[in-house]
Amino acid sequence: MSGKRVVRMAELEIDPSQLDAYRALLAEEIEASAASEPGVLTLYAVSIKDRPERICIFEVYASQEDYEAHLKTPHFLKYKTSSERMVRSLSLIDVDPIILRGKTGDDLAR
């Protein structure tokens, strides 16, 4: 195990006619990942103001192995398969964290 955290951003554009269904699917996937995968440290999803079809997901995994394991989970595979026709574009960006701080346990969207 490398032990080095994996930090990524995903930028997506969603078919506006399927936005509600996509958001529900994404919420289900993030809830399942956070609840069942110890190596999933952070998953935040936001949309661009006035452009709700533009979604950004910020992801932090404990290690490369945890990230790769996440990609093989039933809930991620369901999300990937079910959202395939909803997603118009997807960019995955590996990033180097400068500083990551936050308060845990809070649903900041509520």
Report, as ranges of residue numbers, the positions in the chain whose pLDDT lies below 70: 1-3, 104-110
Q: How many domains does the chain have?
A: 1
User: Could you report the per-residue pLDDT of 31-45, keeping only the tens digit for each?
Assistant: 999 999 999 999 999
Q: Is residue 34 part of a domain?
A: yes
Residues of the domain holding 60: 6-94
Cα-Cα end-to-end distance for the chain: 36
CA 85, CA 62: separation in Å to the nearest integer? 30
CA 104, CA 79: separation in Å to the nearest integer? 25
> What CATH number does residue 89 fall under?
3.30.70.100
The per-residue pLDDT for 73 is 98
The per-residue pLDDT for 40 is 97
The per-residue pLDDT for 104 is 63
The per-residue pLDDT for 110 is 44
* Mean pLDDT rounded to a whole number for the chain: 92
Q: What residues form DSSP beta bridges with 57?
A: 10, 45
